[in-house]
């Protein structure tokens, strides 16, 4: 039954039917389906499909914006449960300061928003630069906030390459050794992270928390 409901939520989101999404999320939560499962296995998958439809020219920027609005409404409903679940993942001994942003040319903040909510829930400090963030803005944020971690996301294959440009700019400014860089987003992979010189890749928000908590433990024991 849970798999069927998750599939319904996914289809509703792909079809941009906000009422259908919220109604079935309520059903899923009432049946005890974890919020993280709804987000990762249903809504994130829907956004991945919507990203593909956009790249194939079947959806346009208006559809992307509408999908993002539906997603945000759903997140308001899911956020309290996500926070409860994130606490179960546990916090590393050191509280991290993390700068997050979706790279230049990309206006998707879905994955980033999930990661932000769950990282804050386990006690890390998160500075969110928003979407369409240039290399210069990332560099300025590193200089201003002196974070332990920089997290970048992208939903499109056309924008993920810009992550490499950001890392090159960070290296050029002599800041690379001062920050741990983690990337994520539908088109990215562990192989791509290595190729551009990132320190880690997370396939979803739960994995991002695990990776960063491990990193927090590592630097607190140094």
The domain spans of the chain are 2-88, 97-220
Q: Which pLDDT tens digit goes with each residue over 48-103?
A: 788 889 889 999 889 988 998 898 899 889 989 988 887 766 555 578 999 999 99
pTM of the model: 0.75
Confidence of residue 122 (pLDDT cuts 50, 70, 90): confident
The single-letter DSSP state of residue 176 is G
Helix or strand holding residue 201 (H, E): strand 200-202
Same fold, 2-88 and 97-220: no
The CATH fold of domain 97-220: Rossmann fold (3.40.50)
More confident residue, 72 or 26: 26
- Mean predicted lDDT score pLDDT of the chain: 91
pLDDT at 117: 82
**Of 51, 66, 85, which is closest to residue 18 (Cα–Cα)?**
66
CA distance 90 to 93: 10
Q: Which pLDDT does position 182 carry in this prediction?
A: 99
208: nearest Cα among 187, 172, 181, 178: 181
Burial of 138 (0-12, 13-18, 19+ CB in 10 A): buried
> Which option is the CATH number for 2-88: 3.40.640.10, 1.10.1740.10, 3.30.70.3270, 1.10.1240.10?
1.10.1240.10
Q: Is 50 helix (H, G, I), strand (E, B) or coil?
A: helix
């Amino acid at each position: 039954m849970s798999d069927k409901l998750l599939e319904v939520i996914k289809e509703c989101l792909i079809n941009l039917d906000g009422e259908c999404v919220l109604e079935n999320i309520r059903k899923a939560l009432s049946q005890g389906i974890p919020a993280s499962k709804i987000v990762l296995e249903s809504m994130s998958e829907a956004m991945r499909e919507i990203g593909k439809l956009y790249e194939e020219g079947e959806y346009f920027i208006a559809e992307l914006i509408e999908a993002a609005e539906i997603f945000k409404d759903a997140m308001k409903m899911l956020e309290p449960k996500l926070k409860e679940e994130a606490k179960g993942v546990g916090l590393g001994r050191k509280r991290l300061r993390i700068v997050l942003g979706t790279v230049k040319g990309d206006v998707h903040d879905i994955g980033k928003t999930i990661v932000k909510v769950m990282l804050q829930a386990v006690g890390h400090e998160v500075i969110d630069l928003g979407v369409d963030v240039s290399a210069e803005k990332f560099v300025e944020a590193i200089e201003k906030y002196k974070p332990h971690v920089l997290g970048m996301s992208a939903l499109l294959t056309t924008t993920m390459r810009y992550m490499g440009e950001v890392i090159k700019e960070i290296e050029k400014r002599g800041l690379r050794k001062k920050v741990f860089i983690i990337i994520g987003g539908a088109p990215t992979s562990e192989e791509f992270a290595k190729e551009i010189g990132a320190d880690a890749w997370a396939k979803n928000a739960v994995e991002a928390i695990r990776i960063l908590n491990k990193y927090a433990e590592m630097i607190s024991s140094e």
